[in-house]
Amino acid sequence: MASPVRRVVLALHFWSGLVVGLWFVLLGLTGSALVFYLDIDRALNPHTRVEHAVAALPPVESIHQALRQAYPERDGPWRIELPLDQDTPVMARYYHPAERAGSYFAPMLVTLDPATLQVTSKRFWGDTVVTWLFDLHYTLLLGKPGLVLVGLAGILCFAVMVTGIQLWWPSKARFWTALRIVPRPGAVRRAYDMHCSSGVYWLPLLAVLALTGSALAFPDQTRLLLRASPAPAAPITSAHQRDTVSLDQAIATAKARFPDAEVRWVETSGAGHTPISLRMRQPSEPSRRFPQTRVWLDAGSGAILAAHDPLAANTGARMSYWFHPLHNGEAFGIVGRAAVFLSGFVPLLLFVTGVIRWRHKVRARAQAARTARPLTSAARAPRSAM
């Protein structure tokens, strides 16, 4: 007979998995799609593709001027993302378009051909398939309250995994035997083996995804927990009220500060005369698309106002810089991204096999009750005849 503790753990694992299992399935499947969301977006929008790879990018200031010429009424800051490859477009974001005033997050998205600097698409965040999926995965389409729910879901998912591994854990003598995948006959045994094996073998990656997802949803609480050094504070305005420094000059100044770093994002100043902001990647940083090396420059004088070197941060902060590239698999290249992509289907497998296991148990209890009923009636018959 199962011990009282095991019965409690089993009940917790069963009911938490059954009640919120579909939630985990949703986060897993949308997460799988988002691993390759840039590729999916280009496949769905062939007009944004680059026909011929470019040997070298045009000056970043030329990209900025092309955006200003195409959208003269957009006088706020633009965030320009340089292509990751020679055959991908330049992407830019205008963060506060009037058309989406009051939205939690809905920038205008623009792509440009790197060879001609012609605008190839103009869209708003949430209006495309992949950005809608991103919002569904990240906030459940509920804005900030949804972000909190997703963070809690990651913690709950980790708790379900802990109870599952506790229920599976064999004795020391049977441990290595239990890890072997040996198909057994019968639907009941197959469902049990599939549920346990998929949970055990995917546990490390699923645990990382659940915890990093919660950490990304609760960045302030995570930094406090890790005792991470304070996040870099961006200067609010430039000292000069005229933007005279070109983006290429700003990049040259930032490169002098971090000579081995690759420029990934450039945020322009705009009518508010905010500082020019650069996000760069040093060779040892885990994320190429979202690195943590930051430089802010005065848009009038070109002087560096502030800089953040992630390699000089404390251990807690350096750990936090791994969360995003671990969550999307980028930290380990195409192999990591493929592993994260496949792991997104595991919650579906666990949920389906868990429901099958539950149905088997319900049928078994019903059968046991039917079997016990005649025996009880037979035992009472002599007494009733007395």
For 289-323, give one letter per residue: b (16+ CB within 10 A) or e: ebbbbbbbbbbbebebbebbebeebeeebbebbbb
pTM (two decimals): 0.87
Longest dimension (CA), the chain: 109
Mean pLDDT check: name the lowest of 53-67, 96-110, 202-216, 234-248. Answer: 234-248
Greater confidence, 75 or 240? 75
Q: What rounded mean pLDDT belongs to the chain? A: 90
Which helix (H) or strand (E) segment holds residue 305: the answer is strand 304-308
Greater confidence, 239 or 188? 188
**Residue 304: strand pairing partners:** 297
DSSP assignment string, 19-70: HHHHHHHHHHHHHHHHHTHHHHHHHH-GGGS-SS--SSPPPHHHHHHHHHHH
**Residue 262: strand pairing partners:** 281
Secondary structure (3-state) at 14: helix
At residue 118, the pLDDT reads: 95
- The CA distance from 29 to 293, in Å, is 32
At residue 17, the pLDDT reads: 84
Mean pLDDT computed over 38-51: 91
- Structure-block tokens of residue 372: 């016990």
Question: In this model, does residue 355 exceed pLDDT 60?
Answer: yes
At residue 380, the pLDDT reads: 58
Secondary structure (3-state) at 12: helix
Mean pLDDT computed over 194-211: 94
